[in-house]
Amino acid sequence: MIAWSAAALAALTLLRLVLAARLPLAPDEAYYFLWSQHLQAGYFDHPPMVALWIRAGTLLAGDTKLGVRLLGPLAGACGSVLLWRAGEAFAPGRHVGLIAAALVNATVLVGVGSIVMTPDTPLFFFWTVGLAAAARLIVTGNPRWWLAIGAAAGLALLSKYTALLFVAGVGMWLLSRREGRAALRTPWPWAGLAVALAVFAPNLVWNAAHGWVSYAKQGGRVTHFAGARAAQFLGELLAGQLALITPVIFGLAVAGTWRLRGRRDAAARLLLWLILLPAAVFLEHAISGRVQANWPAILIPAAALAAASLPAAVLRRWLAAALASGFTLTALVYVQTVAAPVPIAAAADPTALQLAGWAGFARQVAAYPARFYTSDEYGPAAELAFALPRSDVVAGFGGGFDRRWDFLTLQPADLAGTTGILITRRTDTPCPALLGTVTRRRDGQAIMTYRLCRFAAPSGGFVLPHP
């Protein structure tokens, strides 16, 4: 069984690498590629790990789509092995780890998330590393594993600030158990915390030097109770999880988590805290604002282990259906992204909205020669920078136009007083001189139309780097 599973994982990883090389970059990926050209300890939106991963990938595979995404499929494979080992440590001989790894890979969220490079990709990996290190701590009793847990937590924090929930979950696991409170009277958990802080320290220093801008942006997502829309947001959150985790796997995860409540062993308590604490935070957020469907991805490793720990009779009845439906839905997403056989209007197809038509969009824009091109959205600007030749200047303007460029160490453009073209899809953006429109398309179907407006540079601006 192990040999067949390894072969299946290798084949799945190869497929993901092929798709990573073929599929167009999403706007966020093109934006993070810009980060990777100017490495720093923090950025306006997120910590730096996604930029470091992209830089590593492009050093190995060039400034290409595969280079941008290279570490995603590889991390998916390594994370699967670590999750398998964690499950085997918790329940030797029951194939809990193997089942958990299979369930994780069958979700649409991981199937897509291991191809598209976002901050969630390294976050998911390092969260799994931390869980696997905690499993070794529980099984071996060797307190030195706290250092590995701390390193994983620090690297996860450098991936996305949501990793603070991992630190909080492990902390609550310790505080809620007599053995955990006893461990807190030793230096090892504190040494692990010190390692996490040391790894994360460069981002703290960067934010301190930049007015804590990154923390303010992400912390600003906390909003007040919105009773009129709470039911809508909660419904969207549930629908998103059913779609991305897939219904049968979601049901098994809920059942496995519910069953953990009756156990008092250290492993069960850890899994519960790593599931319930983040879930509570996302549910609380959903009554005051929209929770993006990918945010709860961090629950999946522990939830998959919980599902894999269900009684054998339950797994015999539902596991095959869970894996078959999950991999089938993921395959449908892959096929729809590549060939769009399902007759969904391009403007309503999430895969098209993110990935389709960017090369044609760039060609249409290039048909309007200009001193420079810019956009009032970072996504189209980043896509143009990735697609247009080096001779075409794509600029970003900071200040009141878009503050994010002020926090990225880009080359000054010296464009003050010059005129270029602004690409916008917003109806409220002033357009004193309309030069034309361009439409992003998939197989002839319109996805989104943009206006091309004559634009006087409000400042010197910054040059967005080309590959």
* Residues 152 and 82 grouped into a single domain: yes
CA 31, chain centre distance (Å): 14
Q: Are 74 and 138 in contact (CB under 8 A)?
A: no
As a whole number of angstroms, the distance between CA 319 and CA 305 comes to 13
* Residues 264 and 406 grouped into a single domain: no
3-state secondary structure of 428: coil
Rounded to 5 degrees, φ, ψ at 185 are -90, 5
Cα four-point dihedral sign 156, 157, 162, 163: positive
State the average pLDDT over residues 380-407.
Answer: 94
pLDDT of 391 over the 60 cut? yes
Residue 72 falls inside a structural domain: yes
Residue 346 falls inside a structural domain: no
* Residues 14 and 126 grouped into a single domain: yes
Most confident of 1-15, 155-169, 232-246, 283-297: 155-169
- pLDDT tens, residue by residue, 301-350: 999 999 999 999 999 999 999 999 999 999 999 999 998 898 899 888 99
pLDDT in the model for residue 224: 54
pLDDT of 89 over the 80 cut? yes
* Residues 246 and 377 grouped into a single domain: no
* Residues 234 and 370 grouped into a single domain: no
* End-to-end Cα separation, the chain, in angstroms: 44
State the average pLDDT over residues 343-369.
Answer: 93
pLDDT of 222 over the 70 cut? no
Identify the domain boundary among 339, 367, 397: 339
* Residues 318 and 453 grouped into a single domain: no
3-state secondary structure of 113: helix
* Residues 148 and 296 grouped into a single domain: yes
Read off the tokens for 255: 């059942």
Q: How confident is the model at residue 220 (pLDDT cuts 50, 70, 90)?
A: low
As a whole number of angstroms, the distance between CA 13 and CA 264 comes to 37
Residue 52 falls inside a structural domain: yes
* Residues 289 and 364 grouped into a single domain: no
Read off the tokens for 370: 């200009």
* Residues 186 and 106 grouped into a single domain: yes
- How many Cα neighbours within 13 Å face the side chain of 236? 17
- pLDDT tens, residue by residue, 74-87: 999 999 999 999 99
* Residues 364 and 294 grouped into a single domain: no
pLDDT in the model for residue 420: 96
Q: Number of structural domains, the chain?
A: 2
Closest by Cα among 122, 184, 106 to 157? 122
Sequence-distant (≥ 6) Cβ neighbours of residue 409 within 8 angstroms: 38, 40
Residue 193 falls inside a structural domain: yes
pLDDT of 154 over the 90 cut? yes
3-state class percentages of the chain: helix first, strand second, coil last, to nearest 5: 65, 10, 30
Identify the domain boundary among 308, 339, 370: 339
pLDDT in the model for residue 227: 62
Residue 214 falls inside a structural domain: yes
3-state secondary structure of 389: coil
Characterize the bridge pairing of strands 395-396 and 445-456.
unpaired
Helix ranges restricted to H, 220-308? 227-245, 247-260, 266-286, 300-308
Residue 47 falls inside a structural domain: yes
Residue 347 falls inside a structural domain: no
| Helical pair 49-61 and 27-36, crossing angle rounded to 10 deg | 80
As a whole number of angstroms, the distance between CA 352 and CA 345 comes to 9
State the average pLDDT over residues 273-283.
Answer: 95
pLDDT in the model for residue 385: 97
* Residues 56 and 190 grouped into a single domain: yes
Identify the domain boundary among 339, 371, 391: 339
pLDDT of 150 over the 60 cut? yes
Q: Are 380 and 464 in contact (CB under 8 A)?
A: no
pTM over cut 0.85: yes
- pLDDT tens, residue by residue, 54-66: 999 999 999 999 9
Q: Which residues of 200-234 are buried (b: 16+ CB within 10 A; e: fewer)?
A: beebbebbeebeebbbebeeeeeeeeeeeeeeebe
* Residues 324 and 267 grouped into a single domain: yes
pLDDT in the model for residue 375: 97
Largest CA distance in the chain: 73
Residue 344 falls inside a structural domain: no
What is the span of the domain harbouring residue 150? 2-339
In the chain, pLDDT over 90 holds for what percent of residues? 85
